[in-house]
Amino acid sequence: MSDLLAKLNTEQLQAVTLPPQHALILAGAGSGKTRVLTTRIAWLLSTGQCDPAAILAVTFTNKAAKEMHARLGALLPINTRGMWIGTFHGLCNRLLRAHHRDAGLPQLFQILDSADQLAAIKRLLKALNVDDEKFPPRELQHFINAQKEAGLRPAAVDVWDDYSRRRVELYQEYETQCQRESVVDFAELLLRTFELLERNEPVRRHYQRRFRHILVDEFQDTNRLQYRWLKLLAGGEPPACLFCVGDDDQSIYRFRGAEVGNMRDFEREFQVTGVIRLEQNYRSHGNILDAANAIIRNNSARLGKNLWTEAGAGEPIRIFEAFSDSDEARWVVDEIQQLVRDGALRADIALLYRSNAQSRVLEHALFSAGIPYRVYGGLRFFERQEIKHALAYLRLIANPDDDTAFARVVNFPTRGIGARSIEALQDAARTWSTSLYATVPHLGGKPGTVLAQFVRLIEELRRETARLPLPELVDHVLDRSTLRDHYKSEKEGRERLENLDELIAAAANFTAEAQAGAEALAADHALLADFLAHASLEAGEHQADQGMDAVQLMTVHAAKGLEFDAVFVSGLEEGLFPHENSILESEGLEEERRLMYVAVTRARQRLYLSFAQSRMLHGQTRCNLRSRFLEEIPAPLARWLTPPKPRGGPGGGYYEPPRGAFAPRAQPAAAQALPGGLRVGQLVRHARFGTGVIIAAEGSGSDARVQINFGDAGIKWLLLGVAKLEACA
């Protein structure tokens, strides 16, 4: 136990051992946020304050959820499997599967990812003969998702003219289509679960009673619906403790609905009195932090925070002005070569940029210089065309009413079903109000038609695979659908074939994990449905080969949560960073500044900032002013390297021994007994300080002392013989 808490600083310790109450932890960049979150859970469990089943931990990405699982597993000798740790969407999926009847869904409902949703909307517009110039599918998608995130069903959306009325009608039509096809999009997962909990009292009560501690990671990224979802779950009698960790200065996802205001609202609505600030940074040198602090100070509406470090000031920040984008890229390459000569690992160097389009010039320069590099972003495993096609066949087996899947593969590989026949089928489906699949027999064609043959293929597949283990099922489908043959005969099909094999491997992997979880599977293809949900919810890795020591290229967004010894931020120009689309509104500009703050705080030891006088953008040469963010960095922190740049590196003093601030591993001890029947983790009452939790004990007899975290009143050492402590139940 004491091991668990030993390496925490005062604020971290305070946060970890907070008595049961709502809490807001403002965790600055590099301040040990994940550590606090996982140690908090470990503390609650190891002191016996609650049961693993009473914990609900919510993250945004699958990666973060996995990491939390792994860290907890290392901290505690319990199996974390039964615990509810996951993403908002993953947890909603779990709830909806468990209560599908109450939620008005079939057990094997499918999940649409964004691309599927867009395809579904396009199909809908076509079927309804809607002019997609007037209602661009992308805009409609955005509109629908925004309504759902606001918690609004079509009937509740305000309309004021023909256009807005028609848009809401289309929203309604989309809903009807999804329900008919038994598919659920990402926003629907959340809204459906929210409505289920709100309307179904027994279900709500059950989960409210069960989850005593709800912990939220990256709270600044929650949207309105997610916040209401949390409020609902925590709002039982007695209420659960909401422990929210976040950093308003790192909120960079406003464009997809994140609502920083949730932090303020949470503080107010839950009467969170003692906001805990984690401001000590264990990552960067002083100059880097000072620059970050100076930049972010220009934002209004902050909750307020100032990072500091015990590490020295370190190197000055290097700023370079280039003639052109290619000149900038050459300079970056030169500096990287210098760093590598000085012994840096390429994998510890990151090249960050505001938008993906900027990577090309950098890649070109790196390639010419023969420096290995890795670009993050782009297509992920489950988003690849061949994988999507294979999944569509699998989806039709699990749920033949999935028209998106049907439309995707009805003529792929081509089997002579053209646009005409599909259109006719769609019209018929509309009149009969049935799915495309179910409409085929109604067409009245002879059973020998290609469409009927396709339906028969799916039916046979369903029968043939009912008893097959998942990997064999996938393998069989790849053969019978002729997908494999199709890519075999395609010139560039080699990689696609490898990916299809990889899909079988993924299925095998998934099966193994599901069996370890020992969940009883009721229906045929239930495991298949789980696998398909997994594929939609977790799109997989961007790229596989991690072995090579390569320079890391990514957008600033993608870099959030990562850290590197040396960081280059290129393209610091007005219009690019801050981006021109965000410059007009102050809200947008402040988000750009937070983005800059995130970029700067990725660096451990060295930070390089650069901009170019002219740059090719969209096929045109543009001349931009240098970014205002550069002006916001105090002069003493930076060293300008004006061209012609000085040759020869700074040399020496760069690689310092690593600070061992975060040596992991702490063995939890059993809650030890203290005199008077008290023990660590116990809730006690003190006449003056109120209620608190015992977090440590030492001495014996008349010297016996205990350390207590009284929350807002702070952490105190009290003599057991003197202080009148009353144990709370």
Partner DNA sequence: AAGCTTAGACTTTTT
Partner DNA sequence: GTCTAAGCTT
Q: Find the part of the chain contacting DNA (CB under 7 A) among 284-292, 295-303, 310-318, 419-427.
A: 419-427
Taking the least distance from each CB to DNA, the nearer of 419 and 729 is 419
Of the ranges 523-531, 603-611, 613-621, 695-703, which one interacts with DNA (CB under 7 A)? 613-621
- Return the structure tokens found at 204: 């709500």
Between residues 474 and 554, which has the closer beta carbon with respect to DNA? 554
Q: Which of 509, 596, 496 is nearest to 252 (CA)?
A: 596
222 binds DNA (CB under 7 A): no
- Is residue 360 near DNA by the rule CB under 7 A? yes
Q: How far is CA 598 from the centre of its chain?
A: 16
**Residue 426 is a binding residue for DNA (CB under 7 A):** no
602 is catalytic: yes
**One residue of 43, 186, 373, 487 binding DNA per CB under 7 A:** 186
Q: Which of residues 143 and 655 has its CB atom nearest to DNA in the complex?
A: 143
Task: For residue 30, say whether it is annotated as part of any ligand binding site.
Answer: yes
Taking the C-alpha atoms of residue 689 and residue 714, their distance in angstroms, rounded to an integer, is: 9
Stretch that binds DNA, among 10-18, 83-91, 563-571, 663-671 (CB under 7 A): 83-91
The active-site residue, picked from 11, 17, 33, 439, is 33
CA distance readout (Å), 662 to 8, 219, 325: 9, 23, 39
DSSP letters, 405-439, are HHHHHTTSS--S--HHHHHHHHHHHHHHT--HHHH
| Closest separation in Å from C-beta 414 to DNA | 3
Q: Where are the beta strands (DSSP E) in 467-560?
A: 551-555
Q: Catalytic residue at 464?
A: no
Question: What binding mask, one character per residue, do residues 40-69 give for DNA by CB under 7 A, x or -?
Answer: --------------------xxxx------
Rg (CA), the chain: 28
Write down the least CB distance from residue 654 to DNA, Å. 29
**In 139-290, beta strands by DSSP E:** 183-185, 213-216, 241-246, 276-278
φ, ψ for residue 552, nearest 5 deg: -100, 120
Q: Which stretch binds DNA (CB under 7 A): 320-328, 499-507, 521-529, 580-588?
A: 580-588
Among 74, 128, 156, 357, interactor with DNA by CB under 7 A: 357
Question: Which two tokens mark 416?
Answer: 């002579």
Decide if residue 491 touches DNA (CB under 7 A): no
Catalytic residue from among 17, 38, 39, 250: 250
Which residue's CB is nearer to DNA, number 1 or number 144? 144
CB 613, CB 321: distance < 8 Å = yes
Question: Can you tell me which of 34, 102, 107, 113 binds DNA, judged by CB under 7 A?
Answer: 113
32 is in an annotated binding site: yes
Check residue 558 for interaction with DNA (CB under 7 A). yes
Q: Does 411 bind DNA (CB under 7 A)?
A: yes
Interface with DNA, residue 326, by CB under 7 A:
no
Q: Which stretch binds DNA (CB under 7 A): 75-83, 413-421, 465-473, 621-629?
A: 413-421
Select which of 217, 327, 328, 401 is catalytic: 217
Distance spanning both ends of the chain, measured CA to CA? 21
Can you tell me the distance from the alpha carbon of 465 to that of 467, in angstroms, rounded to the nearest whole number?
6
Q: At 614, is the secondary structure helix, strand, or coil?
A: strand
Q: Which of 87, 552, 610, 709 binds DNA (CB under 7 A)?
A: 87
Rounded CA gap, 261 and 263, in Å?
Answer: 5
H or E stretch including 565? strand 564-569
* Whole-number Å distance between alpha carbons of 239 and 20: 10
Among residues 528 and 576, whose Cβ is nearest to DNA?
A: 576
Q: Is 490 marked active-site?
A: no
- Catalytic: which of 149, 185, 218, 403? 218
Judge contact between 712 and 689, C-beta under 8 A: no
The answer on whether 481 is annotated among ligand-binding residues is no
Which residue number, 270 or 381, has a Cβ lying nearer to DNA? Answer: 381
How far is residue 508 from each of residues 234, 381, 399, measured CA to CA in Å? 37, 16, 21
Using rule CB under 7 A, residue 579 touches DNA: yes
Stretch that binds DNA, among 5-13, 72-80, 412-420, 663-671 (CB under 7 A): 412-420
193 annotated to a ligand binding site: no
Return the residues of window 246-305 that contact DNA according to CB under 7 A. 253, 255-256
Q: Annotated binding residue at 365?
A: no
- Choose the catalytic residue: 123, 228, 602, 705: 602
**Residue 582 or residue 709: which is nearer to DNA going by CB?**
582
What's the min distance (Å) between Cβ of 543 and DNA?
Answer: 12
Residue 298 and residue 593 in contact, taking contact as beta carbons nearer than 8 Å: yes
Q: How far is CA 158 from the centre of its chain?
A: 31
Q: Is 420 in the site for DNA (CB under 7 A)?
A: yes
Say which residues have a Cβ less than 8 Å from residue 137's Cβ, sequence separation at least 6.
118, 121, 122, 125
Q: Phi first, then psi: what are they for 553, rounded to 5°?
A: -110, 130
Smallest Cα–Cα separation from 271: which of 26, 22, 25, 17? 22
Binders of DNA in range 370-399 (CB under 7 A)? 377
Helix (H) or strand (E) holding 489: helix 483-489
Report helix, strand or coil for 110. Answer: strand
For residues 54 and 46, give the distance between their C-alpha atoms in angstroms, rounded to a whole number: 13
**Alpha helices by DSSP H, 211-260:** 224-234
Is 681 part of any known ligand binding site? no
Q: Is 90 in the site for DNA (CB under 7 A)?
A: yes
Longest dimension (CA), the chain: 95
Shorter beta-carbon distance to DNA: residue 561 or 650: 561
Pick between residue 328 and residue 335 the one whose CB is nearest to DNA: 328
Alpha-carbon separation of residue 117 from 61, 406, 550, 592 (angstroms) = 20, 14, 36, 29
- For the question of residue 218 being annotated catalytic, the response is yes
Q: Is 153 a catalytic residue?
A: no
Residue selected from 421, 426, 482, 614 as contacting DNA according to rule CB under 7 A: 421
Taking CB under 7 A as the criterion, the residue among 240, 461, 503, 537 binding DNA is 537
DSSP helix/strand/coil, 611: strand
Choosing from 452, 616, 671, 704, the residue that interacts with DNA (CB under 7 A) is: 616
297 in catalytic set: no
Dihedral of CA atoms 436, 442, 447, 450 in degrees, nearest 10, equals: -30
Residue 67 or 279 with smaller CB distance to DNA: 67
**H helix or E strand, kind and range, residue 612:** strand 603-617
711-727 as b/e: b if 16+ CB within 10 A? bebebbebebeebebee
Q: Which residues bind DNA (CB under 7 A)?
A: 60-63, 87-90, 113-114, 186, 253, 255-256, 354-357, 360, 377, 411, 414, 416-421, 537-539, 554-555, 557-558, 579, 581-582, 588, 592, 616, 618-619
Binding site feature residues for ATP: 27-34
Catalytic sites, residue numbers: 33-34, 217-218, 250, 602
